[in-house]
Amino acid sequence: MGKLDGKVAIITGSSSGIGQATALLFAQEGASVNNAGIRGKPGESLYSMENYRYTLDVNLKSVVYLTQLSIPHLEKTKGNIVNVSSGLAIKPNAMSPFYCMAKAALDHFGRCYSLILADKGIRINTVNPGVTDTEFGVKAGMAPEQVAKFMDAVSSQLVPMKRAGTSSEIAKAILFMAADATYCTGANLVADGGIILHSPAPKFD
């Protein structure tokens, strides 16, 4: 018997990466999951106002809209919501300012709405992945070789566990929040190999 028998899951962004792994795991188990993520608009300057608008539309506004639409159904079924955020919601990055801002806002949206929805019997929680072996970099316009070098450098130098996470590991974290964490609401589960804790030590001669 699966953990989600008889449940209907709404999983966005499920054609690849974390969304796909989550869809497969949820199918095996038998809960609404919002999963959308882009660093920015292809071809746009990282700091342009068009990129700002686009990044917030995809990473934040889409989740708010989908949540609002799903509330009547979730109230009837006593379902729950798991948002997929990012470690960059917690640890800023100068190369992705609007992405960091959008994901930080998404985290706080989850906390605020957990208070709004609690008396309706609806839980809302958030998973914050770190560096994960998805096609995120390629979709952002990086060449596969660049992505490989970037992943290797970040994993070896910044992640205390010395490796990237897998999509299936993040999917398991999402499943835990959806099915097992029945007394958790407004919570963030960070699954990042410790990267947000990393603080380089100074080197002395």
Phi, psi (deg, nearest 5) at residue 99: -65, -45
Nearest to residue 198, comparing CAs of 149, 152, 161? 161
Q: Report the C-alpha gap between 43 and 192 in whole angstroms.
A: 28
Bridge partners of residue 129, in order along the sequence: 191
Report helix, strand or coil for 67.
helix
The residues annotated as belonging to the active site are: 99
Do 14 and 65 contact (CB within 8 A), yes or no?
A: no
